[in-house]
Structure 1
Amino acid sequence: MSDHAERYGIGKAFHTALAAADWDGIRSLLHDDAVWVLPGDNTISGAAVGADAVVERARKIAGYGLRFELLNILVSRENMALSLHNTARRDDVVLDEYLSTVCTLRDGRIASIETYLSDVDGMNAFFV
């Protein structure tokens, strides 16, 4: 398997596990010291430090009923990113955002995740 195919596969596995609420699947892709940083000022913002905290953040996000539409998996020389369109509705509040989740890889697993959003204000209003 080529290096880029391995990075692509990790991205695909992460998205598949997230969409299926497969928390053990997500955990298996992470280093124990993984960190996930999200912008904004809401219940999911900031840094989730450690693999268990990263899985808990994914569980919390999914708990809001999001649809995680995968637009692209992008690979660099050493890392990968997911391009997503996330949507959800909670009462009168609608989430409709585009994002890139950039994953730094180490030894074939995710060491860190940083998410870039198209609508931080919309995210703040949704995740209360």
Structure 2
Amino acid sequence: MTTTTTAHDLGRRFHAALTSGDWPAIRLMLHDDATWTLPGDNTVSGTVAGADAVVERARKIASYGLSFELLHILVSRENMALSLHNTARRPDAILDEYLTTVCRLRDDRIAGIETYLSDVPGMNAFFV
């Protein structure tokens, strides 16, 4: 079982790796069979399976120039969630969304990720 201290540390390390683009560090935090599900109908929506696919999704999202502001790391008895405010700007679109990324943990690593968004239409318009 993952302790709340371990879960909190994993959340902090995941956010730090995401903001710095440390893709190998993210890969080490994932189980080989990890999944990530995002709502919407755009280039980053749906479910990807496998640690390498999860890393590639993180890389793709970051490639849009997002700022990933960490609001809170939330822990449950066995899992962890990141509360974020993501923003980005392009000449033709603005992204300004609040989200929670819930990470299901197994043996102190991430087994599954599900992201909940405040503005799915805005995400669809931005990630084209």
**TM-score clears 0.5:** yes
Gaps of 5+ in 2: none
Shift of 1:112: 0.0
**Which amino acid in structure 1 is aligned with residue 67 of structure 2?**
R
TM-score by length of 2: 0.98
Cα RMSD after superposing both structures: 0.8
Q: Distance in 2 between matches of 1:70 and 1:60?
A: 19
Q: What does residue 91 of structure 2 align with?
A: 91
* In 2, Cα distance between equivalents of 1:42 and 1:90: 16
Q: Specify the alignment match of 2:60 in structure 1.
A: 60
**What TM-score, normalized to structure 1?**
0.98
Structure 2 match to 1:69:
69
Distance in 1 between residues matched to 2:4 and 2:32, nearest whole Å:
23
- What is the CA-CA distance between 1:86 and the residue it aligns to? 0.1
3-state SS in 2 of match to 1:115: strand
Gaps of 5+ in 1: none
Amino acid at match of 2:10: I
Q: How far off is 1:92 after superposition?
A: 2.5
Identity fraction in percent: 72
SS at match of 2:25: helix
TM-superposition CA deviations, 1:18-64 (whole Å, max 9, x none): 00000001000000000000000000000010000000000000000
Q: Look up the match of 1:116.
A: 116
Match of 2:21 in 1: 21
Paired amino acid for 1:35: T
CA distance in 1 between partners of 2:94 and 2:47 (Å): 24
The DSSP-based 3-state class of the residue aligned with 2:116 is strand
Number of the residue aligned with 1:45: 45
Asked if 1:126 corresponds to 2:122, the answer is: no
Distance 2:92 2:44 in 1: 20
Q: Which amino acid letter does the alignment assign opposite residue 90 of structure 1?
A: R
